[in-house]
Amino acid sequence: MRSQDFPTEFNLLIRAKYPLIYVVTAEEERAEKAIEQVGRSCNPSREVVYYDLVHGFIHNQQAKNNLLQALQIAEEADPQVPVIFVFRDLHRRLGGQRPDEMIVRQLRNLYRNLRSSRKTVVLLSPMLEVPSELEQQIAILNFPLPNADDIRTAIQQMVATEQLRLSGTGLEQLVKACMGLTRDHISHTLAKSLVQKQFISEADIDLVLIEKQQRIRQTEFLEFFAPYETLDSIGGLDNFKQWLLQRQQAFSDEARAFGLPNPKGVLLMGIQGTGKSLCAKAIAHLWRLPLLRLDVGKLFGSLVGQSESRTRQTIQLTEALAPCVLWMDEIDKAFAGMTGGGSTDSGTSQRVFGTLLTWMQEKETPVFIVATANNIDALPPELLRKGRFDEIFFINLPNCEERKQIFSVHLQRFRPTELRKFDIDRMAAIAKEFSGAEIEQAIIEGMYRAFHHNRDLTTEDIVGAVQDTFPLASTAREQINYMKAWAAQGRARSASSGEMDVKNGNA
């Protein structure tokens, strides 16, 4: 939800006489200003009354440390007097394994008694905690992080014109860097620079990005990457590279003017070590977009409602950073067991999965999803349905020509001035069935051997390392052949144009 959409949606719920509205936000003051704005715009206008356990009702200090009494006061207020009661931080009384049964019952009473009145109760909390008894009675709104216009206005309010030493382009870069942060985070970060040097310049963009990385790191399930890998870091996969290059300007204004919709994403499937993670990083670098890595398994928390709350937080943060790339790593592991109905977490996996699927299908923000998977059978069929992704690519073990490219990429990194002295054709020929990761490790093993003998790396060192290594393909042959056959049925597109072995089953 965009920030300008919140007042519209909240106003609609007020006019429709929704008795209970739960607003989820970490920006309490900003949300309260928006609620007050809606209250003033109502006809007739509505007073906004605040309550918290420490102060009681702010205007008269009634019901301090007595939430049940406060809810009863709201229930007994004149039904014809238009008012919005805002209760702060009720999530602590509604969450956990045993929510406060008296508070739950009183909220159910409020739902029944306020439907025909001009009173609305708003639960304002940084976390969403709704017991099952109230799921059908409470309308939930997520208060969005500041958008570009909000951030631009905030910067101009925080920083005097003479202290803002930025070009027009520099200001837009600063605004983009601030996307995904709360207004308080932005204010504190800029305040540090003003205290230190009394002005804001392009150099402060890096400070904002560091603040953003720390903010995202605090979530524990999202990680912010500054990708340095390019398409040149990937050996082979020419079909996939061409597909990416065709979409290099997909998020530009020119693409929108042409009528192109935002690309949704891509699913990369293949055995471990074939470069799926490297591809995700290369996409973000090629398209010059921020990269977020989502550990889907860490979305699942131990507390009731925590998993769903983390999922909503992920979506909100990601959309605030758009355009960006969201990398869902090893998504098959997170939802393993769902295909056979083996989930034993009271439906949490299904709810999280359903929320992600709905968002992937309906999102309008420019978030490009890169999902990686090793095990086809662990993926729920709904994920593979057309419309979730723009394309599904199968990344097979590299063929001989691709192995040459992979050897060249890694040797260029380890021995950039001595590449010509290595017999790449020979190494590629004997490294049959090796993945890209296994080729890299063979080179590193060869370097250890050369270092041990106090001499430089040679072809023989690498050949010896290859011959002493048993590739994963030798023990996972059935899985590889199954994936090849699955892809050959037209369910996935080959990432390599020279992939003749996808259909005949040869490695």
Rounded to 5°, the CA angle 41-120-181 comes to 70
Name the CATH code of domain 400-474 (choices 1.10.8.60, 3.30.67.10, 2.60.260.20, 1.10.10.10). Answer: 1.10.8.60
pLDDT digits (tens, 9 = 90+) for 102-131: 999 999 999 999 998 999 999 999 988 888
pLDDT digits (tens, 9 = 90+) for 262-310: 899 999 998 888 889 899 999 988 888 889 999 887 787 655 566 777 8
Give the confidence band of 336 by pLDDT, cuts at 50, 70, 90. low
- What pLDDT, on the 0 to 100 scale, is given for residue 343? 52
Residue 333 CB-density burial (10 A; 0-12 exposed, 13-18 middle, 19+ buried): middle
> Does pLDDT of 504 surpass 50?
no
- What pLDDT, on the 0 to 100 scale, is given for residue 303? 56
Evaluate whether 148-218 and 400-474 have a shared fold. Answer: yes
> Does pLDDT of 341 surpass 70?
no
pLDDT digits (tens, 9 = 90+) for 211-259: 777 778 777 788 887 777 888 888 888 999 999 999 988 888 788 889 9
Mutual orientation of helices 5-15 and 28-41 as an angle, nearest 10°? 50
User: What topology does CATH give the domain 225-394?
Assistant: Rossmann fold (3.40.50)
As assigned by CATH, the class of the 148-218 domain is mainly alpha
Q: What whole-number percentage of the chain has pLDDT above 90? A: 46
Q: Which pTM does this prediction carry?
A: 0.72
Element spanning 50, H or E = strand 47-52
Partnered with residue 109 across adjacent β-strands are none
Residue 120 CB-density burial (10 A; 0-12 exposed, 13-18 middle, 19+ buried): buried
pLDDT digits (tens, 9 = 90+) for 48-84: 999 999 999 999 999 999 999 999 999 999 999 999 9
Report domain extents, the chain: 5-142, 148-218, 225-394, 400-474
Q: What whole-number percentage of the chain has pLDDT above 70? A: 94
45 or 382: which leads in pLDDT: 45
- What pLDDT, on the 0 to 100 scale, is given for residue 505? 40
Give the confidence band of 498 by pLDDT, cuts at 50, 70, 90. low
In 333-447 the beta strands, taken as DSSP E runs, fall at 367-373, 391-394
> Does pLDDT of 342 surpass 70?
no
pLDDT digits (tens, 9 = 90+) for 416-465: 888 889 999 999 999 998 999 999 999 999 999 999 999 999 999 999 99
- What pLDDT, on the 0 to 100 scale, is given for residue 228? 79
For 393, phi then psi, to 5°, come to: -110, 135
- What pLDDT, on the 0 to 100 scale, is given for residue 255? 86
- Over residues 336-360, the mean pLDDT reads 71
Q: Which two tokens stand for residue 416?
A: 């950039």
Instruction: Supply the DSSP symbol for 474.
Output: G
Which CATH number does 5-142 carry?
Answer: 3.40.50.300
Nearest by Cα to 230 from 497, 392, 440, 409? 409
